[in-house]
Structure formats: C-alpha cells, structure tokens
Amino acid sequence: EAGVTQFPSHSVIEKGQTVTLRCDPISGHDNLYWYRRVMGKEIKFLLHFVKESKQDESGMPNNRFLAERTGGTYSTLKVQPAELEDSGVYFCASSQDGRGETQYFGPGTRLLVL
Amino acid sequence: SQKIEQNSEALNIQEGKTATLTCNYTNYSPAYLQWYRQDPGRGPVFLLLIRENEKEKRKERLKVTFDTTLKQSLFHITASQPADSATYLCAHPRNSGYSTLTFGKGTMLLVSP
C-alpha cells in the first residue's frame, strides 16, 4: 500500500511568487491534515479536511494560504503571494479514523522563499 | 495555549544502553500522548500512543509512561542501537475533541557503536 505522497519535494521561489503544494493521502483515508515546520520551531497544524470539507482551518496563518481538496482525494495548498516567513517544511498527513490517533505523514515539501 | 517541551539538547548514548527522553506539557490535560520518530528529510513516523488512564505502554524495545500529575511522559528505548538514532517527537491533541495535533520540537538521539 502506498503511503502519503507529496509533490514537489523541494521548491525554491522568489518573494511574491505563487507556489502550489500537492498531497496524495493513503487511499481510503477521509481525514487529511496539513502541518508546517518553520526552522527552529515545532511542527504546527494548519488545516484539517474530512473528505472535501474543511473541518478545522484555524491554523492557517493568513489569507495568502488556500487549501483545497476537490473530490475528497488529493489536496493542494497554494501560497500566493509567498513571503520570506513562509519558508519551511510543509507536511501532509492522513488518517482513516476521525480521532486522528494514527496519522501517517508524507515526506514533506521543503519550501524556500528568497 | 498548549505547549509541549522536549529537551532540545541532543542525547548521546552508547549502543546497548537505555535511552530516556522526556516530554512535558502545560496548560492542558490531553486524552492521550503520541510519540513519533523522524529521520532527516523524512516525515514523522508514528510509534506509540498512550492514553491518560494508562500508566505505561510497551512495544518491542520501546516503553512509554504517562504521568498526568507531573504532566509528563517518558519515552524509553532499551538495548539501543545505532539505527535508533533519530529525532523523537512528542505530540498530543490540540484541544479536547480535536484530532489535530500539537507537537514538541523533538529531541535528537544519537546512539554510538
């Protein structure tokens, strides 16, 4: 069974540009989470989808971030326009149960904004 | 807000010894705590979950304790091996009824042959 996959693995962009990150959860997992780790800080929650609906988006830093999960399968996280402080590692996780007790993480996308 | 504290200094031990990592949490009484392993360039990998009504849980060479009075969890790796070298993260639910997680910064473990 394939794990959670994320694309791209790395992205280097200039301030003001747009970047779109993609996450493919484990097949059949209705719950999809986005987290971010900024250098020197802990991993922080961004957003939680249940199927195609946003269950909790209280961790999204501002309106430059837009997450979608059309059809309840893969998800995208778009940052527009990117700022220097958006640099970090963006992780996606999925789980089958709604309690989130076993979350499977992807390898992350390393974003560097110059 | 909830905060998880883990020793930021790397823990260096010799192969065969027991590694003990500490996780302290504040401002919240979580229903459970989780421990993850993270290798460089990889995402966290779930290891163990311990509930608030459990004092101790074991899985092979791993043991986790949960002290709700001290607001602390200890993570032990017995008979440690160089392959156990990684960063270990502690996490708990962000809030009661939520499935999203709050993480600590993690503690790096280095096991020398």
DSSP string, B16-27: TSPEEEEEEEES
Q: Which domains does chain B have, with CATH numbers?
A: 3-99+108-112 (2.60.40.10)
Q: Using one digit for the tens of pLDDT, what is the confidence trace for A4-58?
A: 999 999 999 999 999 999 999 999 999 999 999 999 899 999 999 999 999 999 9
The minimal CB distance from B100 to the residues A91, A100, A106 is found for A100
Give me the number of domains chain A comprises: 1
Q: Which domain holds residue A48?
A: 5-113
Q: Using one digit for the tens of pLDDT, what is the confidence trace for B78-101?
A: 999 999 999 999 999 887 777 789
CATH number assigned to the domain comprising residue A84: 2.60.40.10
Cα distances (Å, whole numbers) of residue B8 to A42, B33, B36: 11, 19, 16
Q: How far apart are CA B15 and CA A108, in angstroms?
A: 30
Q: Report A:16-45 residues touching B (Cβ under 8 A).
A: 31, 33, 35, 41-45
